[in-house]
Structure 1
C-alpha cells in the first residue's frame, strides 16, 4: 500500500512537472502537404503529364518556438524542411532543414536578430508583394525566378536584423558570411529592404548581392567546370535563362513592388533589375542584365473562391556577342476553392513565349527557350513556347 501511494505521488508530481515544462516551451509544429497533377506542353521536346509536389504551396514541415525571457525579450527558433509529397523524399538530399534553420532574439522595442539559414529581406519584404506570393511560384514567378522574388534564394551562415514596425514602416538587413580565410569576403552576401504599408496601399524596395567564391571558381575553371561555388553563402535558381552566367563573380538584384487593395480587388505592379557581373574566371566577359516588369491582380469572388492573374515581360541585355537579345513574356492564372480554412483545391495555368538569344551552359550563343515560373527550371521547352497546367490539393496543418 505504501509503495502504491509513493508511485501515485511520483506520477502526479511528474505530470505536474511535464505540464509546467510544456507551458513554458511554446513549440508549434506546422506544415503543408501539396500534391498536383501537372501537364507541360514541351519539356525538352515532348509533352509530359506527371505528379508534382508543392505547386500552390511548398510541401514542408516546420518547428517554431518562442520562449519569454522576461521583460521585453524573447528567444525564438525556426526549423523548416521541404519534402516531395509525391515520393516522400527530402527536397534536398544533403540538407535536413533546407528551407530555413535559425535562432534569434526578439524585442518589441529594439527589433529582431536572427542567425542561421534564412530568406533574404529582399524576398521577405519585396517578394511578399510580388507575383509569386499571389499566384504561387510554380507558374506565377517571373521566368526561371530570374529576379529571386520567389523562394529559390536562401542564405546560409547569415545574420539578419529587422527593426520594430513603426507607423507602417518595416526595414531589415542581412549579411551572409562567406567563411573564407583570405579576408576578401569570398562567397558572402548582403541584402536590405524596406516596406511601407498604409491601407489600402503597400510599397517595397529591396537589394540583394550574392558573391561567388573566387578560390572555388578558380579551381573549377581549371577543371573546365566553372560555375557557382557551392560553399558560397547564397544560392539561387538556375534555369535556361541564366545557365550561361552561373560562373559570375557576383550577382546584384534590385526590385520594387506595389499593391493597392479595393475591397475584394487587389492590383499590383513590380519591376526588377538583375546583373550577372563577370570576373576573371567567368565563362562570359560582359555584365549580363535582365530587366523584368510585371502586373498582378486578384479577386476574392466568394469566401471560398479566389481568382488571380499576372503578366510579366523580361528583357535580357545586348552583351557577350548577342545581337538579338532574349525576351520572355508570361501570362499566369490561378483559381482556388477553399474546402475549409486548411484545405483547398486549385487550378493554375501559365503560358510563356521566348524569343531572341542568350548564352547556353557552355557559354555558346543559343536560342532562348521558354521556362514557365520556377517549376520548369530543370525541364525547359525545346523552343520558344511552353504551356503548363496543374490541378491539385493542398492541406495545411
Structure 2
C-alpha cells in the first residue's frame, strides 16, 4: 500500500510539474529598465550659469515589469507597469504615484489588434514622437522648445482606453479615449487621440492628433484628470486653457548609414470661462534632423527647429525660437553607452507671463525639455552634457 501511495504521489507531482511547465512556457514576466545621468552645464538658468548632475537625458531613468500570457488562438493577455525615478537622489519621479510612467493591462490578437486600459502614452506620441528629435536626438536637448508639442514623453494619460490595429502593408492606426471621471460632466478632463504610422523599407511616416480637455476649477491645468502635462516658459501664460489641441506629422528616410527627417507640429490653447487669457494661442513648429552612423558603435546626430507663436492676447511681436541640437553616442556594449549632448536656443519677440493676459514679457529660451522653467534671462541659452546610460 505504501508503495502504491508513493507511486500515486509521484504521478501527481509529475502531472503538477508538467502543468506548471506548460504554463510557464506560455507566459512570461520581464523586469526591465534604464539608468542615465550626466554632468550638465547651462550658461544661463534664470540669470546664472550652473554645473550639476541631471538624470534621464538620453533615456529616462526607470524600471518596470512587462508580462504576456498566451491564451491560444493568436490571442495573449499583456500588462506593463513602469516607474520613473531620479538616479541622483533615489527619489520617485512623482510623489505618491508609484507607476507614474505607465500602467496598463489588455489583450493582443494577431488578427484583430491590441486593446489596453490604464495609464498610457498617447497614440499621438507613440506614432510621431519616435520620428522626431525627441527620440533620435533625445528629448533633453532635441525636443522642440519646452516640449511645446508634447512629442517628448511628458504627456501620459490616466483612465485611458487604447486600440491599435495590426500592421497592414506597413500601415498601422491607433485611437485613444480617456475618461475625465467627473460626475455630471464627462467631457471635462477627458482626452482624445488618434494617429497613423506607415513603415516601408527606408521610409517611415507618422501623423497624429491629441486633445486634452481641462478639468481644472482654478486657472491651472488639471493633471490629475488628464495625465502629466509640461509647463514651460513658452506656455505658462496659457495653462488655464479649457482645452489643448496638438497636431503633428513627421517623415524619415534612411539610406546606408544616414537617416534624414523632417517634422511639423501645430499647437492651440483654447480659452474658456476660467482662462486668464482671451484669444486662442497658437504655436507652429518645423524641424529637420539627421543621424549618421560613423561606425557600428559610434553615431552622431544633429537637428534644427523653428517655433513661432501667433500674435494674440495683446502680443504684437509674437515669440520665435530657433534651436540647434547635437548628439554624440558611443556604445561600450549592447547595453551601456557614453553620450555627449550640446544645444543652443535663441528666443525673440514677446509672450505672456504666468499671470496671463496683460502680463506681456520678453520671450525666454528653454532648451529642449531640460530647461522648461529655468529659461535664460537673456535671448540665448546653451546646454552641454556628458553622460552614461545602462539598459537592463
Q: CA RMSD in A?
A: 1.8
Q: Partners in 2 of 1:253 and 1:289 — Cα distance?
A: 10
* Cα shift at 1:16: 6.9
- In structure 1, the residue matched to 2:362 is 367
Matched, 1:323 2:323: no
Matched, 1:267 2:267: no
Q: Secondary structure at the match of 2:136?
A: helix
- In structure 1, the residue matched to 2:343 is 350
- In structure 2, the residue matched to 1:240 is 233
Change (3 A) 1:15 1:392: farther
For the 8 Å contact 2:125–2:150, the answer to whether it is kept is yes
- In structure 2, the residue matched to 1:31 is 33
- In structure 1, the residue matched to 2:377 is 382
Q: Secondary structure at the match of 2:291?
A: strand
- In structure 2, the residue matched to 1:223 is none
Alignment of 1:42-121 (within 5 A): 42-121=44-123
Change (3 A) 1:383 1:101: same
Gaps of 5+ in 1: 221-225
Q: Secondary structure at the match of 1:128?
A: helix
Q: Partners in 2 of 1:29 and 1:11 — Cα distance?
A: 29
Q: Secondary structure at the match of 2:225?
A: coil
For the 8 Å contact 1:368–1:383, the answer to whether it is kept is no
Query: When the two structures are superposed, what TM-score results if normalisation uses the length of structure 1?
Result: 0.93
For the 8 Å contact 1:132–1:149, the answer to whether it is kept is yes
Query: When the two structures are superposed, what TM-score results if normalisation uses the length of structure 2?
Result: 0.94
* Cα shift at 1:378: 2.8
Q: Partners in 2 of 1:210 and 1:140 — Cα distance?
A: 24
Q: Partners in 2 of 1:303 and 1:19 — Cα distance?
A: 40
- In structure 2, the residue matched to 1:395 is 390
Q: Secondary structure at the match of 1:245?
A: coil
For the 8 Å contact 2:232–2:373, the answer to whether it is kept is yes
Q: Partners in 1 of 2:294 and 2:61 — Cα distance?
A: 26
- In structure 2, the residue matched to 1:163 is 165
Aligned residues: 384
Q: Secondary structure at the match of 1:334?
A: strand
Q: Secondary structure at the match of 2:81?
A: strand
- In structure 2, the residue matched to 1:338 is 331
